[in-house]
Structure 1
Amino acid sequence: MRGTTLSPPNNCWQPITQNVPTNQSKRSNNPIQFLQFSNKKNQAHPLPSLAVKPSQTQSPLTPISGTNPPLVVVGSANADIYVEIDRLPKEGETISAKTGQTLAGGKGANQAVCGGKLSYPTYFVGQVGEDAHGKLITEALENGGVCLDRLTAVASAPTGHAVVMLQPDGQNSIIIVGGANMSCWPETFSDEDLGIVRIAGIVLLQREIPDSVNIQVAKAARNAGVPVILDAGGVDAPFPQELLNFVDILSPNESELHRLTGLPTESFEQISQAVVKCHKMGVKQVLVKLGANGSALFVEGEEPLKQPAISAAAVLDTTGAGDTFTSAFAVALVEGKSRNECLKFAAAAASLCVQVKGAIPSMPDRKSVLDLLHSI
């Protein structure tokens, strides 16, 4: 299949040649070069500031220009088949589910919808099959405000899907069938194909698509000076060193960090030692998601930044919470926020996510996140 292309589309958000001066593009330890963007109708898209408590900052809430370069998510799209169970079945055992339903999901689609619902211009680059599940995902992405010019429907593979076994405490176990996510990609992307990556403000990757795709995208982004965040979730296989070489921020949870390093991650001290091994692998920044214990950002040579979890009124479903956290962190980062602000914004988004069942249906909008931040 040669239909997938990563070149800039002819609608949605378009680059303008004028650049924002360099001294305005480096804020709060975030050296991201900003390009100026407009949409196809040249309409402004003001975004509320991420200031946590306006009364405690030097300036009040002010609109963020809608000319920021886009978030580009290259990744997976799945139909999530939910079954609610009292407990996981034992080997050879059959149990009955309380309920079952199919919802749109997949780590890439989740992260893209999160970006769109946070009112940030977002592209999704991925593949679905020409089937009912593909239509379900496409509709969910559109409703989430995601630009789909780079979404491809392939005839030779079904849409990826996952079986999500949801337990009463909100925890889940997931089995993934790759489908179109893992096949039919071009073997080699042309220079023109990678155009959308080069004009991105930040690129989000995960491991539910082939490593070869991630490597090409990450390399193109690095060569263009575009930051890359790699969510470590997905296939349980060794990380190619070539991929890690082009990653700016690696974002695992504790179990993924354990699998990557082979080291225990049961305490913060152990997590810190595992992160040191990641640094030795070439990743300078590691964003660790710690579930109910919050998160921590480790930058090589600096003290880690810790962010406690923001309490949720009720935890109904943790599916998609990690994707929400990573995407919200990326949005705040590309908007030029400090690392502490990025962590807090992401924590608030994840707190809202776990209070709703489903992955994409649980993604919060920007106003809800800001309202939560202003209330604490």
Structure 2
Amino acid sequence: MSPSHKPLVVVGSVNADLVLPIERLPKPGETLAAASIETVPGGKGANQAAAAARAGYPTFFVGQFGKDDPNAALLRGALRGCGVDLAHSADIAGPCGTALILLQAGGENSIIIVGGANQAAWNLSDGVKQLIAGAGAVLLQREIPEPVNVEVAQLAKAANVPVFLDAGGVEGPIAPELLSCLAVLSPNETELNRLTGMPTDTEEQIQSAAEALMAKGVKAVLVKLGGDGSLLLPGHGEAPIRQKAIRAPEVVDTTGAGDCFTATYAVAVLEGKPAPAALQFASAAASICVQRRGAMPSLPARAEVEELLAKQ
């Protein structure tokens, strides 16, 4: 990677994921046995920072670790091990964020989150503000307080830095002052339905719902469609771009796949790839991700993505 590339700055959440593999979800009043319990690094912000860094791009993570939590060392170590720069992350009193992930047979998951340090008060330092102003792009999600995302996005917009928002996280509406700052908003079809109140059962409906978000000031919308690929509405009067998924031979765990897709798409855009190639790059990364267990541990290295692309 050329040192002339301005870094990707990811502002968001970091969690200790408690993963329980189960055959199916329990019914009300029912007790099921899990095969094991494992603590692995995760959180949408941390996953996206790790995915970008593993893809070979210079990446900073701005997040909050609970200094009273023994998992903080595990989480920091995992991010650094992926090549993420943590110089602008903070240690605050209390526990880290935690996610309980019920991993079902076939790779689907159900997640319960305890916000911890992610949802505590934030104070963006002068160093963080300078980092944002000098970034190639800023990547946000919705597992930290909305006012923090708004402040970061407004700082970035004022410095002409593009802002990507992954719609995953809290379910409420996105603040209008945040929408108007976004270069790219990336929901899945379920999130798109919740954000717009519009049906998203067909591709035509998905496109109409995405256009409704663009009418509120979003420059482009990238809809993640899981095994059906993705749909990009690039704006500027350009036609939508439909990307088919690169199918995985076996789906082991979908945790983190959406984070991987959004982050690697942002990396590809920052590297100057045209939109179809950027979508293909992100699809390859996500295809590798779902074949492994765990959010951050499943993220592919750059060489793996390029090897898979070479086979397409």
TM-score (norm 1): 0.81
Q: Which residue of 2 aligns with 1:315?
A: 251
Bigger Rg over Cα: 1
Q: Which residue of 2 aligns with 1:242?
A: 177
**How many Å separate the matches in 1 of 2:125 and 2:53?**
27
Q: Which residue of 2 aligns with 1:143?
A: 81
Question: Which of 5, 9, 17 is the equivalent residue of 1:80?
Answer: 17
Q: What's the Cα RMSD here?
A: 1.1
Q: Which residue of 2 aligns with 1:371?
A: 307
Question: Which of 98, 103, 122 is the equivalent residue of 1:161?
Answer: 98
Q: How far has the Cα of 1:323 moved from its partner? A: 0.4
Identity rate, percent: 53
Question: Which of 218, 222, 227 is the equivalent residue of 2:157?
Answer: 222
Q: Which residue of 2 aligns with 1:357?
A: 293
Larger helix proportion of the pair = 2
What code does the residue aligned with 2:19 have?
Y
Per-residue CA distance 1:15-41 (angstroms, 9 max, x = gap): xxxxxxxxxxxxxxxxxxxxxxxxxxx
Per-residue CA distance 1:179-226 (angstroms, 9 max, x = gap): 00010312xx46654100010001100000011111111011111111
Contact 1:129 1:180 in 2 (8 A): yes
Q: How far has the Cα of 1:281 moved from its partner? A: 1.6
Question: Which of 262, 265, 270 is the equivalent residue of 1:329?
Answer: 265
Give the length in aligned residue pairs: 310
**How many Å separate the matches in 2 of 1:93 and 1:219?**
47
**How many Å separate the matches in 2 of 1:71 and 1:129?**
24
Question: Which of 126, 139, 146 is the equivalent residue of 2:63?
Answer: 126
**How many Å separate the matches in 1 of 2:183 and 2:243?**
20
Per-residue CA distance 1:241-272 (angstroms, 9 max, x = gap): 11111111000001100110011111111101
> Is residue 128 of structure 2 the alignment partner of residue 204 of structure 1?
no
**How many Å separate the matches in 2 of 1:196 and 1:66?**
16
Question: Which of 330, 334, 348 is the equivalent residue of 2:284?
Answer: 348
What code does the residue aligned with 2:80 have?
E
Contact 2:88 2:128 in 1 (8 A): no
Contact 1:74 1:108 in 2 (8 A): yes
**How many Å separate the matches in 2 of 1:351 and 1:115?**
15
Query: Structure 2: which 5+ residue stretches go unaligned?
Result: none
**How many Å separate the matches in 1 of 2:291 and 2:218?**
33
Q: How far has the Cα of 1:91 moved from its partner? A: 2.1
Per-residue CA distance 1:103-140 (angstroms, 9 max, x = gap): 00000000011111111110000001111111111010
**How many Å separate the matches in 2 of 1:333 and 1:354?**
22
Contact 2:14 2:45 in 1 (8 A): yes
Distance 1:270 1:336, change over 3 A: same
Divergent runs of 4+, >3 A? 189-193
Contact 1:154 1:184 in 2 (8 A): no
**How many Å separate the matches in 2 of 1:193 and 1:66?**
20
Q: Which residue of 2 aligns with 1:306?
A: 242
Q: Which residue of 1 aligns with 2:27?
A: 90
Q: Which residue of 2 aligns with 1:272?
A: 207
Q: Which residue of 2 aligns with 1:67?
A: 4
Q: How far has the Cα of 1:151 moved from its partner? A: 1.4
What code does the residue aligned with 1:275 have?
A
Per-residue CA distance 1:159-186 (angstroms, 9 max, x = gap): 0010111111101111111000010312
SS of 1:194 mapped into structure 2: helix
TM-score (norm 2): 0.97
What code does the residue aligned with 2:172 have?
A
> Is residue 294 of structure 2 the alignment partner of residue 294 of structure 1?
no
Query: Structure 1: which 5+ residue stretches go unaligned?
Result: 1-46, 48-64
**How many Å separate the matches in 1 of 2:258 and 2:229?**
11
Q: How far has the Cα of 1:89 moved from its partner? A: 1.3
Question: Which of 213, 217, 234 is the equivalent residue of 2:148?
Answer: 213
What code does the residue aligned with 1:302 have?
E
